[in-house]
C-alpha cells in the first residue's frame, strides 16, 4: 500500500471540520503503484456571503474540469515556512491536462494542482519519456480537490493523487 492512514479530527481546506482519516501521501515514485479506475473526489464547498458567485461556480468544479487527468509535468517545491524559518515545507505541483470531453473547460486545457507534503509520484525520467513519446500517457485522479481564488490568481489544491492503470480512452467521456 502506498499510503498510511492516520485517524484524527482535522479541518479541511475550506474550514470544515472533518472526521475522516488523514492520509499520509509522502511516498516516492517507486512506492506508488497504479490502481484501477478511481475518480477524483472534490472537497465540500462552504457557501460564502461575500463571494456567492464564486461559491456557486466552485460547487461545480467536477463539471468544469472532469474527474481524470493526464500528467504533462511535475515540479517539486521546497519552501521555508512563513511562521518558522527552521521548517521546510514540501509540495508537488502537477501540470495536468483535462481529458473529459464533457467538461466545461476545453479538452486538453492544462491546469496545475498542488499537493502539500508529498514527493512526486512521477519521476523526471518518466516526464522526459512522455515528452519524447516513448511512454504511454499517465492518467491520474486527485483526492479532495478544491479550488481557491485569490486577488488576481487561482489555484487547485488536492490532498492526494492516484496513478491509474487505465487507458486515456477509457476515461474521456
Q: Which of 114-123, 128-137, 147-156 has the lowest mean pLDDT?
A: 147-156
140 φ, ψ (degrees, to nearest 5): -135, 160
The candidate with the shortest Cα–Cα distance to 93, out of 111, 70, 105, is 111
Using DSSP, state whether 52 is helix, strand or coil. Answer: helix
Q: Is 35-171 a CATH 2.40.50 domain?
A: yes
pLDDT at position 164 over 60: yes
Query: Hunting for cell 509522502 — which residue is that?
Result: 26
pLDDT at position 78 over 90: yes
Higher-scoring residue by pLDDT: 170, 22: 170
Of all residues in the chain, what percent carry a pLDDT higher than 90?
A: 54
The Cα 48–Cα 139 span in angstroms is: 33
Q: Which of 2-6, 20-24, 102-106, 118-122 has the lowest mean pLDDT?
A: 2-6
Of all residues in the chain, what percent carry a pLDDT higher than 70?
A: 77
What is the reported pLDDT for 95?
A: 96
Using DSSP, state whether 63 is helix, strand or coil. Answer: helix
The Cα 159–Cα 55 span in angstroms is: 20
Mean of the pLDDT values across residues 151-163? Answer: 89
Question: Residue ranges per domain, the chain?
Answer: 35-171
What is the reported pLDDT for 27?
A: 47
What confidence tens digit (pLDDT) does each residue in 9-49 have?
A: 333 333 333 333 334 444 445 455 556 667 777 777 777 77
The candidate with the shortest Cα–Cα distance to 141, out of 16, 36, 22, 60, is 36
What are 120's three cell numbers?
512526486
Parallel, antiparallel, or unpaired: how do β-strands 139-143 and 160-164 relate? antiparallel
Instruction: Work out the number of other CB atoms within 10 angstroms of the CB of residue 58.
Output: 21
Mean of the pLDDT values across residues 96-114? Answer: 94
What is the reported pLDDT for 37?
A: 67
What is the reported pLDDT for 34?
A: 58
The Cα 34–Cα 21 span in angstroms is: 21
Confidence of residue 102 (pLDDT cuts 50, 70, 90): very high
Amino acid at each position: 500500500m502506498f499510503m498510511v492512514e492516520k485517524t484524527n479530527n482535522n479541518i479541511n481546506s475550506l474550514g470544515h471540520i472533518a472526521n475522516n482519516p488523514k492520509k499520509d501521501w509522502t511516498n516516492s515514485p517507486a512506492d506508488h503503484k497504479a490502481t484501477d479506475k478511481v475518480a477524483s473526489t472534490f472537497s465540500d464547498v462552504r457557501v460564502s456571503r461575500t463571494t456567492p458567485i464564486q461559491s456557486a461556480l466552485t460547487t461545480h468544479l467536477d463539471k468544469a474540469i472532469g474527474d481524470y487527468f493526464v500528467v504533462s509535468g511535475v515540479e517539486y517545491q521546497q519552501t521555508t515556512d512563513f511562521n518558522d524559518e527552521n521548517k521546510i515545507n514540501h509540495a508537488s505541483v502537477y501540470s495536468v491536462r483535462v481529458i473529459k470531453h464533457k467538461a466545461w473547460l476545453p479538452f486538453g486545457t492544462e491546469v496545475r494542482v498542488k499537493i502539500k507534503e508529498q514527493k512526486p509520484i512521477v519521476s523526471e525520467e518518466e516526464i522526459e519519456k512522455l515528452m519524447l513519446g516513448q511512454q504511454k500517457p499517465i492518467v491520474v485522479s486527485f483526492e479532495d480537490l478544491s479550488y481557491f481564488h485569490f486577488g488576481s490568481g487561482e489555484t487547485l489544491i488536492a490532498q492526494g493523487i492516484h496513478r491509474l492503470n487505465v487507458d486515456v480512452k477509457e476515461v474521456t467521456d
